[in-house]
Chains A and B, each alone.
Chain A
Amino acid sequence: MQATSKIPTDVSYLEYKGKYKGLLSWILSTDHKRIALLYMYSMMVLFLVGVALGLAMKLELIAPGKTIMEANDYNAVFTVHGVIMIFMIVIPGLPAVFGNFMLPIMIGAKDVAFPKLNLLSWYVYIAGALLVIASLLFGPGTPDTGWTFYAPYSFKTGTNMLPAIFGAFVLGFSSILTGLNFIVTIHRLRAPGMKWTKMPLFPWTLYGTAWIQLLATPVVGITLVLVALERIFGIGVFDPALGGDPILYQHLFWIYSHPAVYVMILPAMGAISEIIPTFSQKHIFGYKAIIASTLAIAFVGYFVWGHHMFTSGMSGTAQYTFSILTFLVAIPSAIKVFNWISTMYKGSIRMETPFYWAASFIFIFMIGGLSGLVLGALSTNIYVHDTAFVVAHFHFIVFGGVGFSFFGAVHYWFPKLYGRMYEKSWANVGWLTFTIGFLALYSPMFYLGMQGMPRRYYDYLEEFHSANILSTLGSWVMTFGLVIILINLYRSSKNGKIASINPWDGKTLEWTVPSPPPVENFDEVPVYGEKDGPYEY
């Protein structure tokens, strides 16, 4: 810390020679930009594991009966796929990678409020990931409960649940620390003159997200601890044989895990809210409405958890209430969609890859959102509950929402991350292949669910065969698109064209610092004047 004044302002964070060399200069760095990349690389590895498991599931489902694995293996595969994708990729994804990298720069700070804590969160994240992976490799059998760890099966099954449960707990702790760090950063380190109403929207959504991380995660934390204690000691709270109530587990689990969906989607919406004005070269439409809807989603999102449990046993009053509240969440989400579309209206749109991702995000997010209403309505929910319809809805929102936004953000901020441009034509080919594959993979599941195909089975009736073949083919196309995207990004980070400071003519602060930024981001602290703002085109 004392060396502050000696840190050069003309050397980028990628080339800066600090106290340590080689790998140590990364894993011991407290620079928010290096930590962001640490997160990105570790997530990329885990993501590919999750993708491989997903491909294996789709391959199993290419034909009825056993194709490549037995029922138990299939249960293990969808459990591990879920745990990795949810707890290690989509929940921390945008906040830990782009939040870490961009939040301090976008608000004009040199780093987050607690840089050491930030590095610690990464280590905690890695520890949690290793625990989950340990549950696969060692012990009596791979966890097979699904990512929700429902009681009482989660403490009755003979498989290796403890490391997986504890891993999820530890990952939650990492998430809490990141959220805490961001809240303090936003409160304390905004550039002089950057009032709350002048803060860019990505930091705003990170702010909403951070509060959810902070207030909801501990509840699932203690719930997972209780399941673990139930398994080890038999304390009885979720065990019907000892007087406990397994439904209570579901309540406590979803009190966190539903808001967690908004932890995933809010920063995704935030990134889209940055990309669209930049490529429309126009002030974002309804800046305050987007902020208000962000906070509204974060708030109402706490009170809708019951819609995961409509068939679990709940009073009619509770069902109506949760259903109505669920419908309410659709309003702020729709407000955002209107704002994005209105921002494009009469803008001078530049058809660049991030814009393609953002536009397809809106399309896919709307399909996901509207199918959510089908699930939020009581009568239709009973019909499609626990079918492939739920899987389709969930992947449209979470993979379509977070995934498309993430890839959009990667391309949008790529020049800032590496100081080089990605190769545009390959990026577009990758996007197109990925999107076609995505739609082919998940759309048939809506149909299958409506026809009554249950989720989480390795087998199905002959009548579901053709739609499943389409879905499996889609999974191959999508993965092919993913490979194109990743190879293109990797090659471009090595030999892409050198990027200028502001290749997209953006107006937020990250486009005022060199690409890649120097270690402490700003030569001098930026000051927002009365007429400055993040979207003044």
Chain B
Amino acid sequence: MSQVIHHDAHYDPEGSKIGMWLFIFTELLLFGGLFIVYAVYRYLNPEAFEMAAEELNVTIGAVNTIILLVSSMTIAMSTTALQKKQKGTTVVLLEITFMLALIFLINKYFEWGIKFEHGIFPGSEYMTSELSQGEILFYGLYFVMTGLHALHIVVGMVIMGVALHRIQKGTVHPERASLLENAGLYWHLVDLIWIFLFPLFYLIS
């Protein structure tokens, strides 16, 4: 009867954690739809997908992977620090996570920028005249999926910003840590999706 105690309290950390997990399920299915599309077109155009993948910069991709993995670690450490009531450490670790996310986006910006310079973007003259249909699909999916992922990074940064503000204001504290914990869960999801995107677009050949 674990639910009994929560009836008069309006704060239910267990409940908000379940809510966050459910939201993560929906996110997985959102990307799941894209992974299906990717799988279908990869199966239909194996060679074009390999050729197009060689154009992507594995180094930037790998660096971004490491950045996200480290950021996942720092946000987890930040959550632990809050539990241990080390407010200063919590804030610093969360700020580091935020900065790592920003660096990820800056890398992404340059990566996309180079593609744009080469005329590789959906609907471009170069794409429709020079590239095969399989390559067009590859780049179409590349921009959609990494773009949607980047949007999730931005949302994650906004949540982190709110969490930072609340921690400093004192409304998120060791007894009321749900916001930070959920921000961490969300951030791990963003990281996890990248872990799949990286090999699918950069590595498989």
Residues of B within 8 A of A215 (CB): 25-26, 29
Among the listed A1, A229, A243, which residue makes an inter-chain contact with B10, where contact means beta carbons less than 8 Å apart?
A1
By the criterion CB–CB under 8 Å, are B29 and A236 in contact? no
Contact B3 A192 (CB under 8 A): yes
| Docked pose: A183 CA to B26 CA in angstroms | 13
Residue in B14, B27, B32 whose CB lies within 8 Å of A188: B14
**Cβ–Cβ contact A222 & B22, under 8 A:** no
Q: Are A192 and B23 in contact (CB under 8 A)?
A: no
Chain A residue nearest to B11 in the complex (CB): A1
Chain B 1-30 per-residue mask, 1 if CB under 8 angstroms from chain A, else 0: 101101110101011101100110111011
Tell me if B141 is interfacial: C-beta within 8 Å of chain A.
yes
Segment with Cβ contacts to B, from A57-65, A244-252, A429-437, A505-513:
A244-252
Q: When the two chains form their complex, are residues A248 and B27 in contact, meaning their CB atoms are under 8 A apart?
A: no
Given A214-B25, A233-B122, A252-B36, A189 and B7 contact (CB-CB distance below 8 Å): yes
Most buried by B among A180, A216, A221, A225: A180
Beta-carbon contact of A188 and B18 below 8 Å: yes
Q: Quick one: given A188-B12, A217-B26, A222-B30, are A234 and B122 in contact (CB under 8 Å)?
A: yes
Tell me whether B29 and A219 are in contact (CB under 8 A). yes
Contact B30 A218 (CB under 8 A): yes
Residue of B nearest to A233 (CB): B122
Interface SS majority for chain B: helix
Contact with B along A218-247 (1 / 0, CB 8 A): 110111011001000111110000111100
A525 close to chain B: CB less than 8 A:
yes
B22 pairs with A214, CB closer than 8 A: yes
Instruction: Using known A-B contacts A110-B7, A114-B19, A189-B3, determine if residue A243 contacts B29 with beta carbons closer than 8 Å.
Output: no
* B88 CB-CB contact with A under 8 Å: no
A113 within 8 A of B: yes
Which residues from chain A contact B7 at a C-beta distance below 8 Å? 109-110, 189, 192, 525
User: Which residues of the other chain, A, contact B41 by a CB distance below 8 angstroms?
Assistant: 237, 243-244
User: A193 — which chain B residues lie within 8 A by C-beta?
Assistant: 1
Question: Complex formed: what's the CA distance from A131 to B8 in Å?
Answer: 39
Cβ of A245 and Cβ of B29 under 8 Å apart?
A: no
Number of interface residues of B (CB under 8 A): 43
Interface centre among A114, A184, A217, A248 (most CB of B within 10 A): A184
Q: State whether A113 touches B15 (Cβ < 8 A).
A: yes
Interface pair A252/B23, CB less than 8 Å apart: no
Cβ of A393 under 8 Å from chain B: no
A176 CB–B CB distance under 8 Å: yes
What A residues does B45 contact at CB under 8 A?
243
- Which chain B residues in 115-137 approach chain A with CB under 8 Å? 121-123, 128, 132-134, 136-137
Q: How far is the CA of A344 from the CA of B21 in the complex (A)?
A: 41
Max count, chain A CB within 10 A of own CB: residue among B23, B31, B45, B140: B140
Q: Is B144 an interface residue (CB 8 A)?
A: yes
A243 x B133 contact (CB < 8 A): yes
Tell me how far the C-beta of A305 lies from the nearest C-beta in chain B, rounded to whole angstroms.
Answer: 13
- Flag whether A187 is at the interface (Cβ < 8 A): yes
- A336 CB–B CB distance under 8 Å: no
Give the one of A216, A229, A237, A525 with max B CB within 10 A: A237
Nearest-CB residue, chain B, relative to A1: B10
Q: How far is the CA of A109 from the CA of B6 in the complex (A)?
A: 10
Known: A190-B3, A236-B140, A237-B37. Contact between A176 and B122, CB under 8 A? no
Which chain A residues lie closer than 8 Å to B204 at the CB level?
none
Contact A243 B40 (CB under 8 A): no
Residues of B within 8 A of A189 (CB): 3, 6-7, 15
Whole-angstrom distance between the Cβ of B179 and the nearest chain A Cβ: 13
- Docked-complex contact A233 and B10, CB < 8 angstroms: no
The answer on a CB contact under 8 Å between B23 and A218 is no
**A-facing residues in B16-64 (Cβ within 8 Å):** 16, 18-19, 22-23, 25-27, 29-34, 36-37, 40-41, 45
Task: Check B40–A245 contact: CB distance below 8 A.
Answer: yes
Closest beta carbon of chain A to B175's beta carbon, Å: 15
**Contacts A234-B122, A252-B36 given; does A184 touch B136 at CB 8 Å:** no
Asked if B134 contacts A243 (CB within 8 A), the reply is yes
A312 contacts chain B at the CB level, 8 A cutoff: no
Q: Is A379 an interface residue (CB 8 A)?
A: no
Complex-state Cα separation, A187 to B22, whole angstroms: 12
User: Within 8 Å of chain A (Cβ to Cβ): is B143?
Assistant: yes
B141 contacts which chain A residues (CB < 8 A)? 235, 237
Asked if A242 and B137 make an inter-chain contact with CB atoms under 8 angstroms apart, the answer reads yes
Q: How far is the CB of B127 from chain A (nearest CB, A)?
A: 9
Given A192-B4, A236-B137, A245-B40, A184-B15 contact (CB < 8 Å): yes
Q: How far apart are A282's CB and chain B's nearest CB, in angstroms?
A: 30
A4 within 8 A of B: yes
Which B residues are in CB contact (< 8 Å) with A234?
A: 122-123
**Listed residue (B19, B25, B36, B121) with the most chain A CB atoms within 10 angstroms of its CB:** B19
Distance A117 CA – B22 CA, assembled complex (angstroms): 14
Q: Contact partner of B140 among A117, A242, A248, CB < 8 A?
A: A242
Note all chain A residues with C-beta closer than 8 A to B29.
Answer: 215-216, 218-219
Binding site for B on A (CB under 8 A): 1, 4, 109-110, 113-114, 117, 176, 180-181, 183-184, 187-190, 192-193, 214-219, 221-223, 225-226, 229, 233-237, 242-245, 248, 252, 255, 525
Q: Which 7 A-B pairs have the closest CB atoms?
A: A243-B133, A235-B140, A234-B123, A222-B33, A233-B122, A218-B30, A218-B29
A–B complex contacts, Cβ < 8 Å, 16 sampled: A4-B10, A114-B16, A176-B26, A183-B18, A183-B22, A184-B19, A188-B12, A192-B1, A193-B1, A215-B26, A215-B29, A221-B33, A222-B34, A236-B140, A237-B137, A252-B37
